[in-house]
Amino acid sequence: MPLQVGIVGLPNSGKTTLFNALTHAGAEVTAYASVTQKANVGVAVIPDERLDRLAALVGSKKVTPAAIRIVDVPGVRGDIPGELRQADALLAVLDGFSAGADPARDLETLRLELVVADRDHVERRLERVRKEAKSGDPARRREVELLERLLAHLDSGAPLSEWAGPIPSELEPLTTKPLIPVENGPSGIDCALEMELAELSPEEAAEFRSGPSALDEVVLRLKNALDLITFFTVGEKEARAWTLQRGQTALDAAETIHSDIARGFIRCEVIRWDDLLACGSHAEAARRGLQRLEGKSYVVEDGDVLNIRFNV
Ligand SMILES: Nc1nc2c(ncn2[C@@H]2O[C@H](COP(=O)(O)OP(=O)(O)OP(=O)(O)O)[C@@H](O)[C@H]2O)c(=O)[nH]1
Ligand SMILES: [Mg+2]
């Protein structure tokens, strides 16, 4: 399952506008979208200048950056769509552009809505498990007790990120997910402008901005919140960046690229990206002893260039 980020926000805060800016997907932006509108799904590229430098070194024909899946759902007060429960992190879009905008207040409102959504979710599960517990199953009874305590916690207005004990994994709570606020407006990120710039080439878009894209900053904050690292595969055909969660291994890296590569994994050649640039080629890096051979359990580090040997 690829990692996924959900966009949340009050109605008309600019969620779909931010979605379009991040994914270049061109989804319809309308004031007061109907509740029946479907979720938008797209991918946001993770900017990484290391990849461009590696591709230039090797002369790769194709450059493929790593990406994060983004889901945008219509803003419906009091009814947070279920798709968001599968998200690994949430982006909170706050209106900072309309007359009387108050992003700090909206963030509080949104946090409370997420708590309420989790509260209702726990209550529904409690009703179901209570019925099942009537048969006397001790595991179900213990779950009823736990859910009752979770419900009391949420009733006090606190998020489940502040709950110290265990949480049943089937619950998929919203309030344990990292929540990254984005103010949409002149004192934050001008999402409407960024959406227009998303239709231009990167070079043209850069001419409009004085500095780096504020959206890159958002994506990098997501990358940190998800605790992602980047590794590279570099060849003449393609230079590509991939992500793993920190602590994942060379075998996980192989699986990310292709399940066949994981199945036939023999070993993995590893060079630090900056060593490869400094040496100018894989051969030179190997000659200087900067290329290591690692096995399946090697914990991949951010910036590793991997060449996985496999047979199928
Ligand atoms: N002036 C201005 N208008 C914006 C900005 N961002 C969004 N809008 C407008 O606000 C309206 C709603 O934008 P959307 O991106 O559809 O908002 P949303 O949060 O997806 O809305 P729902 O999905 O209906 O909850 C549209 O008319 C946008 O053009 C902005 O930065 N500045
Ligand atoms: Mg929308």
- Classify the C-alpha dihedral 48-49-54-60 as positive or negative: positive
Say if residues 39 and 16 touch (Cβ distance below 8 Å): no
Nearest to 215 by CA among 5, 56, 41, 34: 5
What separation in Å is there between the alpha carbon of 16 and the centre of ligand 1? Answer: 7
Residue pair 29/17 in contact (Cβ under 8 Å)? The answer is yes
What pLDDT, on the 0 to 100 scale, is given for residue 32? 53
Question: Which atom of ligand 1 is least distant from the CA of 9?
Answer: 19
Query: In this predicted structure, what is the pLDDT of residue 78?
Result: 55
CA separation for the pair 40, 25 (Å, rounded): 9
Phi, psi of 219 (to 5 degrees): -65, -40
Q: Which of 17, 32, 106, 184 to mutate to test the pocket of ligand 1 (most atoms within 8 A of CB)?
A: 17
| Interacting residues of 260 by C-beta distance below 8 A, sequence separation 6+ | 310, 312
Question: What is the position in ligand 1's atom list of the atom closest to the CA of 190?
Answer: 31
CATH of domain 4-48+67-100+178-225: 3.40.50.300
Q: Who lines ligand 1 at CB under 6 A?
A: 9, 11-17, 29-33, 74-75, 97, 184-185, 190-192
Contact (Cβ atoms closer than 8 angstroms) between residue 246 and residue 229: yes
Domain 103-171 identical in fold to domain 247-310: no
**What is the CA(30)–ligand 1 centre distance, in A?**
7
What order do you get walking across the sheet with 62-64 strand by strand?
A: 62-64, 238-245, 228-234, 304-310, 265-272, 292-294
Closest C-alpha to ligand 1, atom 12: 12
Sequential pLDDT tens for the chain (312 residues):
578 999 999 989 999 999 999 998 877 776 555 555 678 999 999 999 999 999 999 999 999 999 999 999 876 555 667 788 989 999 999 999 999 999 999 999 999 999 999 999 999 999 999 998 888 889 899 999 999 999 999 999 999 999 999 998 789 999 999 999 999 999 999 999 999 998 888 888 888 887 778 888 899 899 999 999 999 999 999 999 999 999 999 999 999 999 999 999 999 999 999 999 999 999 999 999 999 999 999 999 999 999 999 998
- The model scores a pTM over 0.75: yes
Residue 91 pLDDT: 95
pLDDT of 188 reads: 92
Ligand 2 centre to CA of 70 (Å) is: 13
With 0-12 / 13-18 / 19 or more C-beta atoms within 10 angstroms meaning exposed / middle / buried, residue 53 is middle
Ligand 1: which of 8, 29, 91, 190 to mutate, most ligand atoms within 8 Å of CB?
29
Q: In this structure, which ligand is nearest to the CA of 33? A: 1
Class of domain 103-171: mainly alpha
247-310 CATH pick, 3.40.50.300, 3.10.20.30, 3.90.1150.10, 3.20.20.70 = 3.10.20.30
Atom of ligand 1 nearest to the CA of 20: 15
Domain boundaries, the chain: 4-48+67-100+178-225, 103-171, 247-310
DSSP-derived secondary structure for 237-301: SEEEEEEEETT-BHHHHHHHH-HHHHHTEEEEEEEEHHHHHHHSSHHHHHHTT--EEE-TT-B--
Centroid of ligand 2 to alpha carbon of 219 (angstroms): 19
Of 89, 91, 108, which Cα lies nearest the Cα of 182? Answer: 91
Sign of the CA dihedral running 106, 108, 109, 115: positive
pLDDT of residue 254: 97
